[in-house]
Amino acid sequence: MKQIEVGIIMGSSSDAPIMRQAIEVLNKFEVGYEFSVVSAHRSPQKMFEYATTAEERGLKIIIAGAGGAAHLPGMVAAITTLPVIGVPIKSSNSLDGWDSLLSIVQMPGDIPVATVGVNGARNAGLLAVQILAANNSTLKQMLTQLKKDNYDKVSKQNETLDSFA
């Protein structure tokens, strides 16, 4: 069984389809994770318990997705010393995702939250892998291969441009 190193949390189960993109990345890199709903507004005690016990449970990074007012990533970052990656989610009650993005990216001094683009859970998963790769040569090699594959994709796209000329 994989050691659980990344916590993936979200404010509501309606955020799960977006946050599953991070799971797909972590699965590809064989990184263990946990996945749960932890609402800053509806269950603040659960959020506090999650953040205060994360490190002792073996987590190294927390990915927190939230829509609307999007307080979850910042509140968790205020409690834990672990890196927190915020995923702003364009939800049914958001202002096209802008409110979530600004809420997460505009943190006060001393409360950093690494923030990806709106609905950018895939990049949040990759950022978590990159952070873990600083102390994991296997992950570093896998990321190096991903970069090479991306380069090869671009090269292949250039080969097909002649058909547009």
Task: Indicate the annotated binding residues for substrate.
Answer: 12, 15, 42
Concatenate the DSSP letters of all residues of 98-122 into one string.
HHHHHHHHSPPTT---EE--TT-HH
Query: Which residues participate in the annotated binding site?
Result: 12, 15, 42
Contact at 8 Å (CB) between 57 and 49? no
Are the C-beta atoms of 29 and 131 separated by less than 8 Å? Answer: no
Look at residues 107, 4, 19 and name the one whose alpha carbon lies nearest to residue 63: 19
